[in-house]
Structure 1
């Protein structure tokens, strides 16, 4: 009896199964992996905030009342005088202009001549910026230097309409945006290739995540010049082969994947009843029940009429009916020790309670010392 073909077939089948299992394992691990690019920010590679004060004109009677906003009147007079129009002793009575604050974010490495988006917000008592045009407005940085100049037609998503007795407002008509509304005039001086190291700051500080990032970077670069300074900072020295090519080094680091870690946390928003439970939250073995008490107050006033031809008066007699009803006692629901997130959710859902009652249950579990997580109430 020949066993060669059978053995070869078994070997092929085993190899195929091993390949499938390996591929599944890689795919399963990949689901938990996150790019370093999404976990950290690089030192020096950040946005800078810009701000400016300007005027919007062309409004259809919805601008500032100059009698209530003297700064708008002063700005109008100053602008007109710069254009050669003397308005020093004149009284302006226009409602087609509004004073605004202009804000923008200057991207890292923005070059002279590139455009950025801006946001325009009313400063005075203007009711709407719809149809307005922003005049030339310098945008200043924290150092007082002008880094961009803004101008253009406003794009307003809201509106306001009404009369003497009523009005309707949708959105925020006193705020607008201008896409590519500012031109960069000054560049931030930052020589990336002259740096001797790259420093990464974790968006969510954690020692475990920082060490995993350092291990991934060291494995990729084949260098030991990677140091975890604290839970937030990972420092990388520039390897010799990346000298003069720091941008390529940052790009290579960004594409590395690690599995982030973090503190188990339960976030509760009592105002809206929202509860967010992290995947690492664990609960010791507890038994939970939740009461259901309903108090109903009904007011049924009655009118008492006097007898005919009597001296009595018609009066309203209040009648109040108070009913207290306690719901059917629920059985205790037991949640096993060291349960997963899905088991925790299933156990809480078995109680049949709403989100706000669930907030009280989580607080009680925390007070009992069975919730092994940080309970954060916002």
Structure 2
């Protein structure tokens, strides 16, 4: 009876454990046609507190300022003006899928001249173009820069990047993307991290959701869904059901290290073969102690400087050859490496050596 209860509880817990590691389909794939479009524009920021472009070093700033004033009916031809409160900028934004006319999107503003700060500036009306050259949005508004500048007569302190900022909801959509989702008879799902096992699980999960074979795996990065076979009211309804399907992805074993900060990130599937590792430091000391030799008083001789050099080579006696046994879990990998008593930066060198020796069974990425 006790054995039967254990088997029964195991059967109840298995689906719960599998579901705990599952991820929504919308977080694993990109739906064909459902994507954003990049926009870019060239504009002018005004109202800066003396931190604008130097017009002699940035002639394009003077040119765009002249064009804007002339469009507003101000004739500045032949005039010589050198304001220091304007700056030329690039404005970028992403037009989300199915954005409608009148909607607003965020805009990012970045200086392209020698302006030292965009703090407190206002972006003048700037058209934003897509790759086809058409204007899809217009940006304007006050810039929120993420840095700060403090300066005096002899020193300047800068924190963050004051030459770049954002305008929340600062661009208004003026044109829509011509895309009819309901006209699709099939839709491809592009995996963000291509993997045959994950693609197969997505195919099975979608077919299980709709109760029939509506999805087929094309390759490691693509799963195609037949929309009419889903019997959904529309393509949007079919996508709405698919994007919340739970799938447990299969990840590649990876080790990612950042040499500048000493950060190490390892996946749960990383394995290390049985290997021995030694890590230590050598210290070389060289000391110069010259000796001055002088002749006796009233003797016929010369003062001579005799060089004396002391050299010593020391090795940390606490470092020994350590054995890292074949491991089956991430905690054992970390525990085996920590047993050497090394710092994270030294551990990066050890991981490189393990990969070169063929003992680290994972993709090794250095940033």
Say yes or no: TM over 0.5. Answer: yes
Q: How many pairs align? A: 366
Q: Quick check: 1:257 aligned with 2:246?
A: yes
Call closer, same or farther: CA 1:227–1:26 in 2, change over 3 Å. closer
Aligned with 1:229: secondary structure?
strand
Aligned with 2:33: secondary structure?
coil
Aligned counterpart, 1:268: 257
Taking the aligned partners of 1:304 and 1:179, their CA distance within structure 2 comes to 79
Point out where structure 2 has 5 or more consecutive residues left out of the alignment.
Answer: 298-302
Instruction: Determine if contact 1:242/1:248 at 8 Å carries over to the other structure.
Output: no
Call closer, same or farther: CA 1:331–1:184 in 2, change over 3 Å. same
2:60 aligned residue (71, 76, 93): 71
Q: Quick check: 1:173 aligned with 2:162?
A: yes
**1:347-358 alignment, distance < 5 Å:** 347-358=336-347
Moved more, 194-203 or 222-231: 222-231
Point out where structure 1 has 5 or more consecutive residues left out of the alignment.
Answer: 1-9, 309-313
Instruction: Determine if contact 1:193/1:244 at 8 Å carries over to the other structure.
Output: no
Q: Let me know the Cα RMSD of the aligned residues.
A: 3.1
Taking the aligned partners of 2:308 and 2:130, their CA distance within structure 1 comes to 69
Aligned counterpart, 2:300: none
1:245 aligned residue (234, 248, 258): 234
Moved more, 63-72 or 354-363: 354-363
Instruction: Determine if contact 2:232/2:238 at 8 Å carries over to the other structure.
Output: no
Taking the aligned partners of 1:300 and 1:70, their CA distance within structure 2 comes to 63
CA shift digits 1:161-191 (9 cap, x unpaired):
3234211111111111111101000011111
Q: Quick check: 1:153 aligned with 2:152?
A: no
* Structure 1 outlier segments of 4+, above 6 Å: 299-308, 314-320
Aligned with 1:120: secondary structure?
strand
TM-score scaled by length of structure 2? 0.89
CA shift digits 1:45-92 (9 cap, x unpaired):
111110001111111211111122111111111111111111111111
Instruction: Determine if contact 1:298/1:321 at 8 Å carries over to the other structure.
Output: yes
Call closer, same or farther: CA 1:168–1:270 in 2, change over 3 Å. closer
Aligned counterpart, 1:38: 27
Taking the aligned partners of 2:293 and 2:175, their CA distance within structure 1 comes to 84
Taking the aligned partners of 1:33 and 1:177, their CA distance within structure 2 comes to 35
Aligned counterpart, 2:208: 219
Moved more, 362-371 or 116-125: 362-371
* Residue 287 of structure 1, CA deviation: 2.4
Call closer, same or farther: CA 1:305–1:146 in 2, change over 3 Å. farther
1:182 aligned residue (148, 152, 171): 171
TM-score scaled by length of structure 1? 0.87
Q: Quick check: 1:109 aligned with 2:108?
A: no
